[in-house]
Amino acid sequence: MKRTLLALFLLGLASGSGAPSEVPKAPTAPRLILLGTAGGPIARLERSQPANAIVVDGRIYLIDAGDGLLRQMAAKRLDLGKVQALFLTHHHIDHIADLPVLMIDRWLLSAAPPLPVHGPPGAARLVSGTLGAFRPVELAPVTIGGPRKPPLRRAARGHDLPARLDEPRLVYQDGSVRVLAIGVDHYHYPPGSPEARFSRSYAYRVEAGGKAYVFSGDTGPSERLERLAQGADYLVCEVIDLARVERALRAFPGFAPEQIQPLLRHMVEDHLTGDQIGRIAARAGVRKVILSHLSPGGDGETDLGDYARGIADHFGGEVVIGRDLDEF
């Protein structure tokens, strides 16, 4: 009897408030990972299409989902089940190509709740339509034990941002991050045209661990981007080398000569050169510029310093020409 009472007493000490509690882990610094740094809907060997990750205490937040995203996540050992949210900058295919496999593999390989997908008008339709199109995957399952999977249509939920967003707006918040968005200038379709309905591009600001990370998305010169980036620690910014783009377009067999000039006009109006980036970064007071979405960003490029030409004329901070899997 005495032994029993002693055992119960010791057990009470071990489980009660008098027992030493496990020391909580100190929060780790956020990680910024460039998962894809090439712009445009072309498959490359050396760079994947646009995608970025912010990782906070193991929780993953993705900005864009270009082709190659899942392969790059595997290279960085990022668990699909830990992805908390995805933020799409716009609906061009090089920014959304891996959205289907991200949603479906996450549903298939983890027990994570539905993935929030935030993006321009049409994001909710894109998500629901994609999951609906992949219904045959659900109808031809691999038989495994355990509880049944929820319906595939619940794998993700799309959220449309306001069509007009002229000031930074909080669009997502949890215990690890705050995410703000603003509209930027990547399209010039006439108001009221069918194209203008869904043609919106957004920049995002992710605040975590006392740091601010701004992602330009695709844009031409934009005062709204400057407002969003005020005082940011990192500006992950698209960049274009117009001379290289023109050479690449003229050498590409898929374009007729009459198609090239309108494309070049789009590149001039709706993307950023180094000179323009330097002005934006200086006026916004950012600490570091990371160049991504390199256009043309082709395989075998040398003299990458050309992409940064003109930035230092205006901006005195650090400039990094990003490569896939770079981490900050």
Tens-binned pLDDT, residue by residue, of the chain (328 aa): 444 444 433 334 333 434 344 445 556 899 999 999 999 999 999 999 999 999 999 999 999 999 999 999 999 999 999 999 999 999 999 999 999 999 999 999 998 999 999 999 999 999 999 999 999 999 988 777 777 889 999 999 999 999 999 999 999 999 999 999 999 999 888 888 888 888 999 999 999 999 999 999 999 999 999 999 999 999 999 999 999 988 888 888 878 888 888 888 888 888 999 999 999 999 999 999 999 999 999 999 989 999 999 999 999 999 999 999 999 9
* 298 three-state secondary structure: coil
Q: What total of structural domains would you count in the chain?
A: 1
Q: CATH no. for residue 211?
A: 3.60.15.10
The answer to whether position 193 is within a domain reads yes
Return the structure tokens found at 66.
Answer: 């270009």
d(CA 123, CA 161): 8
- Say if 9 falls within a structural domain: no
Can you read off the two tokens belonging to residue 1?
A: 């009897």
16 inside domain: no
Phi, psi angle pair for 209, to nearest 5°? 55, 35
Residues 249, 253, 254, 259, Cα dihedral to 10°: 50
Asked whether residue 6 is domain-assigned, the answer is no
Assess if residue 21 is contained within a domain: no
**One-letter amino acid of 284:** A
Q: 3-state DSSP call for residue 66?
A: coil
Q: Which domain holds residue 96?
A: 28-321
What is the full DSSP assignment across 14-48? HHSTTSPPPPPPPPPPPEEEEEE-B-SS---SS-P
